[in-house]
Chain A
């Protein structure tokens, strides 16, 4: 099932980024800047309170640190890449290649994800732990956390694929892509755990895929998800991956047909 071409695509993306690994130090520093800003902000917001939104101050700092560093891992420009290839017609060339276009894109993005995990997220997390009072979860949580993180990667990648493919149908989808980035950050719980939102908003967000990108794995890390709740969270993520993958495949089929008719 795993075509060797996909492995090769992932590997070559990894190696390409390796040549630029120095650039990621700036990225780590920027993320630390944000963790710091929100750490101080939240400490002031708590101001002696035991818990807010179901999290203690210590849990909140852990949540923040892992939220930003998880973002360092799952973040990519898959949507921009796809949109650019659609607009300049490279996608038509991709169609003659003996692989599935979307799978190839996702494979390369996974190569990027592994790179980001090793050279951005993990060292960044080490720095964050050194600078801020981050509490690491007990050993038995780690496997579930990494599983959740891996799933969140796919949810985010598929959302990106969908916004990227929109370039087939919209004259210009860059506004959509910008808005997507901000909305994902806001509604996935990067700045603000979703438990803080008012009940009605939580209900709405519960029906959206964004919580599966950040909130659920981060909560698992910060110790806010145990036992049955954790299993349920993983199931929600898996469900979203299925739904989004189906949507992406359907959108791609329509686009593909259109491409065949118009000739790119």
Chain B
């Protein structure tokens, strides 16, 4: 009964969400630094373009799109890292960037390409620091750590300095670090990038368990369609900042070509063909 009620609850709500970057070219050197203080030149690039998105509690949503489509920027907006240029955004009942510090307690974030942990410290110390940063009471911390340690087999890693961890080991620790404060919403930006098959399966199994048993809502970006097929029932496809598909995975699979990869490839290609020049110009700015 409670579960049915919970799925109705809206966790993420975005209307016309837009993020523009003003690209600035700095002049080198001291004279340049002085000159930059007075006169600047910009170029406007729209990374996220009027995105509408609703995510309900308990969903696992895969966020797809070719490189440079604006996936990471969307995740950063939802996570309160970036301030939107325009549009409405509510996540966990808050405006993320405006109440950033309060909001941050209610989410977990994992960037596959970047570590959340302290490079020189043992894993245990990183966890303890996070406990303090999130002000997790000792008892809650123990309970949550117990769950994570068992699911991710963390105990053998606790005394290892982060810099000595393999990528797969590090990723397990990153997931734990993002979940120590037991957030109801988890953002994952390419969580399986660079991992071998065994490590990937392990992470996917963990995420499934987290979602089914703990009811954690998960939003993930990935280039690995295997992640999406293993985890998500719903996919959102983004291209040049616009949402071009939002629906059940089954609907995608039933498209021409049969397999998910064929369909997604066709979608990417189609978009690339009639907008190729523009895309090239946009990525040339980077």
Among A23-31, A35-43, A71-79, A240-248, the stretch in contact with B: A23-31
Q: In the bound complex, how far is the Cα of B30 from the Cα of A105, in angstroms? A: 30
- Which residues of A sit under 8 angstroms from B31, Cβ to Cβ? 22, 25
Closest to A25 in B: B30
Closest to A30 in B: B30
CB distance from A23 to the nearest CB of B (A): 6
Asked if B32 is at the interface of the complex by the 8 Å CB criterion, the answer is yes
Contact digits for A11-25, partner B, Cβ 8 Å, 1 yes 0 no:
000000000001101
Asked if B28 is at the interface of the complex by the 8 Å CB criterion, the answer is yes
Q: In the bound complex, how far is the Cα of B31 from the Cα of A25, in angstroms? A: 8
Closest to A27 in B: B30
- Which residues of B sit under 8 angstroms from A25, Cβ to Cβ? 29-31
- Which residues of B sit under 8 angstroms from A23, Cβ to Cβ? 28-29
Q: Which of B18-60 contact A (CB under 8 A)?
A: 28-32
Q: In the bound complex, how far is the Cα of B35 from the Cα of A25, in angstroms? A: 14
Q: In the bound complex, how far is the Cα of B34 from the Cα of A26, in angstroms? A: 11
- Which residues of A sit under 8 angstroms from B29, Cβ to Cβ? 22-23, 25-26
Q: In the bound complex, how far is the Cα of B29 from the Cα of A22, in angstroms? A: 5
Closest to B28 in A: A22
- Which residues of A sit under 8 angstroms from B32, Cβ to Cβ? 22
Closest to B33 in A: A26
Q: In the bound complex, how far is the Cα of B30 from the Cα of A26, in angstroms? A: 5
CB distance from A115 to the nearest CB of B (A): 15
Q: In the bound complex, how far is the Cα of B33 from the Cα of A29, in angstroms? A: 13
- Which residues of B sit under 8 angstroms from A29, Cβ to Cβ? 30
- Which residues of A sit under 8 angstroms from B28, Cβ to Cβ? 22-23
- Which residues of A sit under 8 angstroms from B30, Cβ to Cβ? 22, 25-26, 29
CB distance from B154 to the nearest CB of A (A): 34
CB distance from A54 to the nearest CB of B (A): 36
CB distance from B87 to the nearest CB of A (A): 40
Give the interface centre of A23, A25, A26, A29 by most chain B CB atoms within 10 Å.
A25
Q: In the bound complex, how far is the Cα of B32 from the Cα of A23, in angstroms? A: 10
CB distance from B27 to the nearest CB of A (A): 9
Q: In the bound complex, how far is the Cα of B28 from the Cα of A25, in angstroms? A: 10
Q: In the bound complex, how far is the Cα of B32 from the Cα of A25, in angstroms? A: 10
CB distance from B136 to the nearest CB of A (A): 40
CB distance from A29 to the nearest CB of B (A): 6
Closest to B29 in A: A22
CB distance from A246 to the nearest CB of B (A): 42
CB distance from A231 to the nearest CB of B (A): 41
Q: In the bound complex, how far is the Cα of B30 from the Cα of A213, in angstroms? A: 29
Closest to A23 in B: B29
Q: In the bound complex, how far is the Cα of B33 from the Cα of A25, in angstroms? A: 11
CB distance from A131 to the nearest CB of B (A): 16
Give the interface centre of A22, A23, A26 by most chain B CB atoms within 10 Å.
A22
Q: Which of B178-234 contact A (CB under 8 A)?
A: none
Closest to B27 in A: A22
CB distance from B28 to the nearest CB of A (A): 4
Q: In the bound complex, how far is the Cα of B34 from the Cα of A29, in angstroms? A: 13
CB distance from B25 to the nearest CB of A (A): 14
- Which residues of B sit under 8 angstroms from A26, Cβ to Cβ? 29-30
Q: In the bound complex, how far is the Cα of B30 from the Cα of A224, in angstroms? A: 35
Q: In the bound complex, how far is the Cα of B28 from the Cα of A26, in angstroms? A: 10
Q: In the bound complex, how far is the Cα of B68 from the Cα of A89, in angstroms? A: 40
Q: In the bound complex, how far is the Cα of B28 from the Cα of A29, in angstroms? A: 15
Q: Which of B85-132 contact A (CB under 8 A)?
A: none
Q: In the bound complex, how far is the Cα of B172 from the Cα of A258, in angstroms? A: 45
CB distance from B120 to the nearest CB of A (A): 17
Q: Which of A19-72 contact B (CB under 8 A)?
A: 22-23, 25-26, 29
CB distance from B155 to the nearest CB of A (A): 35
Q: In the bound complex, how far is the Cα of B30 from the Cα of A122, in angstroms? A: 18
Closest to A29 in B: B30
Q: In the bound complex, how far is the Cα of B176 from the Cα of A71, in angstroms? A: 53
CB distance from A128 to the nearest CB of B (A): 16
CB distance from B102 to the nearest CB of A (A): 41
Closest to A21 in B: B29
Q: In the bound complex, how far is the Cα of B26 from the Cα of A22, in angstroms? A: 13
Q: In the bound complex, how far is the Cα of B132 from the Cα of A21, in angstroms? A: 46
CB distance from A14 to the nearest CB of B (A): 19
Q: In the bound complex, how far is the Cα of B27 from the Cα of A26, in angstroms? A: 13
CB distance from B32 to the nearest CB of A (A): 7
CB distance from A34 to the nearest CB of B (A): 16
Q: In the bound complex, how far is the Cα of B29 from the Cα of A26, in angstroms? A: 7
CB distance from A90 to the nearest CB of B (A): 23
Closest to B31 in A: A25
13 contacts between A and B (CB under 8 A): A22-B28, A22-B29, A22-B30, A22-B31, A22-B32, A23-B28, A23-B29, A25-B29, A25-B30, A25-B31, A26-B29, A26-B30, A29-B30
Q: Taking beta carbons and an 8 Å cutoff, which residues of B are in contact with A?
A: 28-32
**Which A-B residue pairs are the 3 nearest by beta carbons?**
A22-B29, A25-B30, A22-B28
User: Given contacts A23-B29, A25-B31, could you give 4 more A-B pairs where the C-beta distance is less than 8 Å?
Assistant: A22-B28, A22-B31, A22-B32, A23-B28
Q: Taking beta carbons and an 8 Å cutoff, which residues of A are in contact with B?
A: 22-23, 25-26, 29
